[in-house]
């Protein structure tokens, strides 16, 4: 069976995390992704956080599956010519260099259009146009500037960044959507265009509900589903909400049996309104189902702290999995706090290809996260990441270079 993006050629100029997550997704959907790296060095993540000496790190391998790697020195005049040939052959150039780096290499939008008017140029940058547009940005900078950090954590503590890489991988996802959309529009117009996903914008998009809450707070001065109500004070800006659900159905993280020694013996518990009576039954507080102080969502809001304390008395008598099993019987929404160890060992995730074991020639077997997006007619087969420059000769030959020319370019340090 063919793949959704068969025939699409991506010139992958990405490095670190944000860009590589984007091009990895496109590769999983069938695009031919040609990753351009500097000879001798390559993507800096190849050597970052290494767990095995001289072997591509998990950081690199887990973000660069299904790609080909070519080495080109794009500052060398002959290397530039090779890059020009690639620009003419490819459909999309994806990059996440610091602002201005592509222009400094000589590949401005105007020059790229001259070489290939159908080329789509897709970029991740830290910020869009404005005061910070020239800044270099990493994950946590974006989380801070996009509104995630100020709204994450507990009210009595400092801002907190999340483990989910919403700045890097989140923006990579946004960019991938921009690219396939531009490819679709190109089928009508025949022209390429520029696609920009700024990390601040990507994070803010994922924090959309917090801008909703900012406006609610300004209008009413209070947000009744937040833990600050009625026990604390609201200021001018959306506060950190601890583990509150952020939606219309209040939730919190509660201790389960074993919490004293297991840092993940917790469950997320949602007091969903339609199953309130069942919740009351399960935790042994049947009277709450009809008590006017507890029977309606509005009546419960000022009492959430006490309600969750009571529910926790029950969850502490069960392991998180026992609690999950019981609550699911009654359709009560809840979720165990799973450790990475538990997730890595979860058979159902292996079965769906969400967790995949990959074999690598120098690293051996390792686990990775497969494609989280499943297409019924374009299944993903996760292939190992390329070694540095593994496909240089192959790609050069496809561009029409002879073995002698390739060897001369190598001697000249262009590839």
Query: Residue 391 and residue 398: Cα distance in Å, rounded?
Result: 11
Q: Choose the catalytic residue: 12, 32, 91, 168.
A: 168
Sign, CA torsion 29/200/48/152: negative
Please say which residue, 32 or 37, places its beta carbon nearer to ligand COA.
37
Please say which residue, 166 or 254, places its beta carbon nearer to ligand COA.
166
Q: Is 103 a catalytic residue?
A: no
- Pairing mode of beta strands 355-360, 9-13: unpaired
Query: Residue 387 and residue 241: Cα distance in Å, rounded?
Result: 44
Roughly what angle, to the nearest 10 degrees, separates helices 199-206 and 169-189? 100
Q: Where does this chain touch ligand COA (CB under 6 A) — which range of 11-19, 203-211, 213-221, 260-268?
A: 11-19
Query: Residue 415 and residue 407: Cα distance in Å, rounded?
Result: 9
Least distance in Å: CB of 2 to ligand COA? 31
- Which of the residues 127 through 166 are near ligand COA (CB under 6 A)? 136-138
355: β partners: 369
Least distance in Å: CB of 96 to ligand COA? 3
Q: Is 174 in the site for ligand COA (CB under 6 A)?
A: no
Please say which residue, 122 or 124, places its beta carbon nearer to ligand COA.
124
* 210 dihedral zone (left: phi>0; alpha: psi -120 to 50; beta): alpha
Q: For ligand COA, how many residues bind (rule: CB under 6 A)?
A: 24
95: β partners: 13, 123
- Show the site string, 183-222: x = touches ligand COA by CB under 6 A, - = not: ----------------------------------------
Q: Is 125 in the site for ligand COA (CB under 6 A)?
A: yes
Query: Residue 174 and residue 202: Cα distance in Å, rounded?
Result: 7
The residue from 7, 40, 104, 305 that contacts ligand COA (CB under 6 A) is 104
Please say which residue, 96 or 228, places its beta carbon nearer to ligand COA.
96
N-terminal to C-terminal alpha carbon distance within the chain = 35
Helices marked H in 169-291 — which ranges?
Answer: 169-189, 199-206, 208-220, 276-282
The residue from 32, 43, 56, 168 that contacts ligand COA (CB under 6 A) is 168
Q: Would you say 391 and 34 are in contact if contact means Cβ atoms under 8 Å apart?
A: yes
Query: Residue 241 and residue 228: Cα distance in Å, rounded?
Result: 8
The residue from 11, 16, 26, 175 that contacts ligand COA (CB under 6 A) is 16
Query: Residue 33 and residue 10: Cα distance in Å, rounded?
Result: 5
* Cα–chain center distance at 92: 21
Least distance in Å: CB of 21 to ligand COA? 9
Q: Is 57 in the site for ligand COA (CB under 6 A)?
A: no
- Show the site string, 357-396: x = touches ligand COA by CB under 6 A, - = not: ----------------------------------------
Please say which residue, 139 or 225, places its beta carbon nearer to ligand COA.
139
> Could you list the active site residues?
168
Rule CB under 6 A: which residues touch ligand COA?
A: 16-19, 36-38, 72-75, 96-98, 101, 104-105, 124-126, 136-138, 168
């Amino acid at each position: 069976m063919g793949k959704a993006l068969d025939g699409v050629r991506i010139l992958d100029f990405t490095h670190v995390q944000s860009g590589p997550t984007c091009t990895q997704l496109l590769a999983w959907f069938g695009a031919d992704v040609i990753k351009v790296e500097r000879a001798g060095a390559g993507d800096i993540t190849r050597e970052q956080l290494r767990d095995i000496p001289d072997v591509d790190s998990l950081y690199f391998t887990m973000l660069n599956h299904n790609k080909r790697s070519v080495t080109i020195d794009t500052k060398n005049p002959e290397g530039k010519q090779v890059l020009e040939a690639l620009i003419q052959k490819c459909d999309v150039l994806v990059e996440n260099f610091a602002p201005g780096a592509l222009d400094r290499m000589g590949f401005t939008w105007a020059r790229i259009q001259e070489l290939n008017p159908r080329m789509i140029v897709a970029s991740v940058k830290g910020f869009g146009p404005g005061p910070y547009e020239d800044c270099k940005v990493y994950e946590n900078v974006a989380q801070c500037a996009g509104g995630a950090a100020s709204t994450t954590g507990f009210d009595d503590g400092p801002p907190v960044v999340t483990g989910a890489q919403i700045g890097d991988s989140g923006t990579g996802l946004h960019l991938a959507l921009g690219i396939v959309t531009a490819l679709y529009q190109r089928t009508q117009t025949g022209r390429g265009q520029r696609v920009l996903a700024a990390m601040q914008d990507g994070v803010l998009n994922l924090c959309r509900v917090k801008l909703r809450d900012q406006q609610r707070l300004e209008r009413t001065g209070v947000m009744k589903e937040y833990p600050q109500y009625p026990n604390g004070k609201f200021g001018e800006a959306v506060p950190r909400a601890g583990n509150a659900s952020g939606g219309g159905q209040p939730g919190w993280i509660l201790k389960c049996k074993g919490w004293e020694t297991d840092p993940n013996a917790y469950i997320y518990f949602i007091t969903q309104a339609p199953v309130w009576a069942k919740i009351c039954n399960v935790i042994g507080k049947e009277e709450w189902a009809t008590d006017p102080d507890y029977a309606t969502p509005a009546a419960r809001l000022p009492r959430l702290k006490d309600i969750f304390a009571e529910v926790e008395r029950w969850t502490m008598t069960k392991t998180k999995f026992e609690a999950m099993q019981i609550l699911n019987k009654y359709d009560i929404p809840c979720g165990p706090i799973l450790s990475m160890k538990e997730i890595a060992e979860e058979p159902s995730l292996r079965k769906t290809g969400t967790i995949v074991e990959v074999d690598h020639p120098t690293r051996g077997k390792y686990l990775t996260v497969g494609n989280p997006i499943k297409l019924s007619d374009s299944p993903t087969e996760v292939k190992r990441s390329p070694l540095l420059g593994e496909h240089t000769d192959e790609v050069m030959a496809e561009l029409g270079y002879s073995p002698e020319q390739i060897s001369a370019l190598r001697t000249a340090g262009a590839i």
